[in-house]
Amino acid sequence: MNLSFLYENIHVLLPEAILFLGALAVVGADLLRPKDGDGRGLGALALLTVVAGLVGTAYIWGRPPATYLGGASLDGFALGVRVVVLTAAFFAVLLSMGYAPRITWQTGEYYALLLLATAGMSLLGATTELALLFVALETFSLALYVLTGIYRRNPRSAEASLKYFLLGGFASGFFVYGAALLYGAGGTTDLALLGQRLAAGEANTSLLWAGMALLLVGFGFKLSLVPFHMWTPDVYQGAPTPITAFMSVGTKTAALAGFIRVLGTALPAQQATWGWALAVLAVLTMTVGNLAALRQMSLKRMLAYSSIAHAGYILVALVPGTAQGTAAALFYLFAYGLMNIGAFAVVVALERTAENDVDQGGFRGMATLYPALAAAMAVFMFSLAGIPPLAGFFGKFLVFKAAVEGGWTWLAVLGVLNSAISAYYYLRITVAIYFDQAQAVPARNAWAGLNLGIALAALGTVLVGIYPSLWIALFQGLGG
């Protein structure tokens, strides 16, 4: 039997292969590590794996388009998704290095699952086939369910894990049902082929629409679009903070990548129908996310609602169904990754480990105690609020520009109004940092990885804002 087809174009999945092997290596190293060790070496190994993944991505950068076994393809979009996902993973490992040993003795599992989740997310950007898409989705979801509950001494962590798992299973059920209906409609799981059959009128459209509706639910859950968002605050609050930071960016990027693949490859002709559904969802998501964030005391819950709102903004970019919109969404995710992970990193720095959270009072007068940390947090908050010249501003600018140019001006207007609402809760943090008297001296967590992560995120947020053209060009080149 000739198995050479297995190796043909295997470079298409090089980064995922590296991540997968890295996960195995972490598990192996975990077995060998001394019992009294703190697992610091495992963190370094995980970091190395992520960096190797980035190198692998760079290695296959710019190669001619190729597919692997008809299920995954090498194209600019897949590369762009990997950049964002691997960047998020890079920061997550940095944040975890001093964190994981405090909350669990299973650091090996922790890093292995983190790498597996990264591999799943990364794969989702490359896949062009419904079944593989589902596998990738479940790969990272299952890893995240476990990671959410890995802080076992903290009841909230366990509760979050269970909620996430149950609701995630519920949503996955709809997703797989939807995928099955699509298969029924077109007789194929290959998205491109499905698109061709739809165009040729060879598909069963009533099955198609039912399948589309259920797929939307599945993606909507992962993206935490309203009304599929209710798990988000509880899970974000309960999960260990570095994991929250990672999934707030990684899950969104991966799910959005899959969503864009399905809509852009299989259903581009139906944009008139799904465009409106996405527009309504975007408005609901932005509005509910921002409104609910206004009154949150817990910073992690506030950031959870904020991430819901940001999912709404990103969705705005998909509504017109243009390549420009796709590029804008990727740019937004990259900018969002830097500033949002940065904000969670500051939470990591300030939280009491036992509480696994920090409330708004924890920021009072922080500027006098930790001026550098305060400045970084201010940068993240201003950027999240979309204030120029930071990364978040250009993300919003591109997204709304794509909407306006696609003829969805009213949607952009609602987005801008929402952005104004969001300024309230972001700037409230900044005000507390700089204008309030310090109440008590919060002990600040610090380890090299954390400090490096915060510094890099802040630097990135500023640099992407100052030289947006560089990054815009990068993601526009990948958009197609």
Partner 1 sequence: MLDYAWLVLAFPAAGALLNTFLGGSLGRRAVGWLASGAVALAFLASLGLFAQLMGLPGHERSVTVHLWDWIRVGTFQVPAALLVDPLSVTMALVVTGVGTLIHVYSVGYMAEEPRYQRYFVYLNFFVLAMLVLVLSDNFLGMYVGWEGVGLASYLLIGFWFDRRDASYGYYADAGKKAFLVNRVGDFGMALAIMILWTGLGSVTFLEVFAGVEKLAAGTLTLASLLLLLAATGKSAQIPLYVWLPDAMAGPTPVSALIHAATMVTAGIYMIARTYPLWEAAPAASAVAAWVGGLTALLAATMALVQVDLKKILAYSTISQLGYMMLGVGVGAYAFAIFHLITHAFFKALLFLAAGNVMHGLHGELDIRRMGNLRARMPQTARLFTVGALALAGFPLTSGFFSKDSILFAAFERSPALYGLGLFTALLTAFYSFRAVFLAFWGRERDPDLFARAHESPAIMRGPLWILAGLALAGGGLNLPRVLPLLEHWLEPAVGALEIHAGLGLEMTLMAVGGLVALAGIYLAHARYVQEAAWAQGLAQGLAPLRPLLERGWYVEDLYRAAVVEPLWALARFSAQVVDRGIIDGTVNLVGQLHLLASDGLRRLQNGLIPTYALSLFVGVVVAVLYFVFG
Question: Which DSSP category does 65 fall into?
Answer: P
Q: Is 183 in the site for partner 1 (CB under 8 A)?
A: no
DSSP symbols for 374-414: HHHHHHHHHHHHT-TTSHHHHHHHHHHHHHHHTT-HHHHHH
Q: Find all residues with CB under 8 Å of 86, minimum gap 6, and list them.
A: 15, 50, 53, 54, 57, 118, 122
212 binds partner 1 (CB under 8 A): yes
Closest distance to partner 1 from the beta carbon of 425 (Å)? 9
Rounded-to-integer distance, Cα 152 and Cα 161, Å: 10
CB of 208 to partner 1, least distance (A): 9
- 357 lies in the site for partner 1, by CB under 8 A: no
Closest CB 172 distance from partner 1, rounded Å:
12
Of 151 and 175, which CB lies nearer to partner 1 in the complex structure?
175
Encoded amino acid at 195, one letter:
G
68 binds partner 1 per the rule CB under 8 A: no
Q: Compute the CA torsion angle 147, 148, 153, 155 (nearest 10 deg).
A: -160
Q: Return the residue of 231, 246, 331, 471 that touches partner 1, per CB under 8 A.
A: 231
- The minimum distance between CB 267 and partner 1, in angstroms, equals 11
CB of 230 to partner 1, least distance (A): 4
Q: In this structure, what are the phi and psi dihedrals at residue 188, rounded to the nearest 5 degrees?
A: -155, 155
Stretch that binds partner 1, among 89-97, 119-127, 203-211, 382-390 (CB under 8 A): 203-211
- Minimum distance between the CB of residue 10 and partner 1, rounded to whole angstroms? 38
Site string for partner 1, 132-171 (x = CB under 8 A): -------------------------------x--xx--xx
Candidates 14, 47, 133, 217; binder of partner 1 (CB under 8 A) is 217
Distance CA 298, CA 279 (A): 30
Helix (H, G, I), strand (E, B) or coil at 365: coil
Tell me whether residue 10 or residue 294 sits nearer to partner 1 (CB atom).
294
User: Cβ 226 to partner 1, closest distance in Å?
Assistant: 8
Phi, psi (deg, nearest 5) at residue 162: -65, -45
Which one of 74, 113, 214, 282 is in contact with partner 1 (CB under 8 A)? Answer: 214
Q: How long, in residues, is the chain?
A: 480
Task: Rule CB under 8 A: say whether 286 interacts with partner 1.
Answer: no
471: nearest Cα among 415, 403, 392? 392
Interior CA angle at 442 toward 239 and 309, to 5°?
40
Choose between 48 and 277: whose C-beta lies nearer to partner 1: 277
Integer angstrom CA distances of residue 476 from 128, 306, 325, 465? 20, 26, 9, 16
Contact between residue 333 and residue 269 where contact means Cβ atoms under 8 Å apart: no
Which member of 28, 37, 187, 227 binds partner 1 (CB under 8 A)?
227
Q: Which stretch binds partner 1 (CB under 8 A): 193-201, 219-227, 352-360, 455-463?
A: 219-227
Taking CB under 8 A as the rule, which mask of x and - marks residues 386-425 in contact with partner 1? Answer: -----------------------------------x--x-
The least distance separating partner 1 from the CB of residue 312, rounded to whole angstroms, comes to 14
Quote the least distance from Cβ 472 to partner 1, whole Å: 32
Residue whose CB is less far from partner 1, 109 or 234: 234
Task: Tell me how many degrees the CA angle 134-245-75 measures, rounded to the nearest 5.
Answer: 45
Reduce the DSSP state of residue 73 to 3 states and report it.
strand
* Among the listed residues 210, 427, 455, 462, the single contact to partner 1 using CB under 8 A: 210
Question: Which of residues 209, 397, 434, 447 is near partner 1 by CB under 8 A?
Answer: 209
Is position 236 an interface residue for partner 1 (rule: CB under 8 A)?
A: no
Beta bridge partners of residue 359, listed in sequence order: 298
Nearest approach, Cβ of residue 98 and partner 1 (Å): 30
Instruction: Pick the piece of the chain touching partner 1 (CB under 8 A) from 57-65, 73-81, 289-297, 354-362.
Output: 289-297
Separation CA 420–CA 64 (nearest Å):
43
238 CB burial (10 A radius; 0-12, 13-18, 19+): buried
Minimum distance between the CB of residue 66 and partner 1, rounded to whole angstroms?
A: 34
CA angle (158 as vertex; 154, 164 as ends), nearest 5? 140
Residue from the set 24, 51, 135, 277 that interacts with partner 1 by CB under 8 A: 277
Q: Residue 7 burial (CB < 10 Å; 0-12/13-18/19+)?
A: exposed
Residues that bind partner 1 (CB under 8 A): 163, 166-167, 170-171, 174, 206, 209-210, 212-214, 216-217, 220-221, 227-228, 230-231, 233-234, 273, 277, 288, 291-296, 421, 424
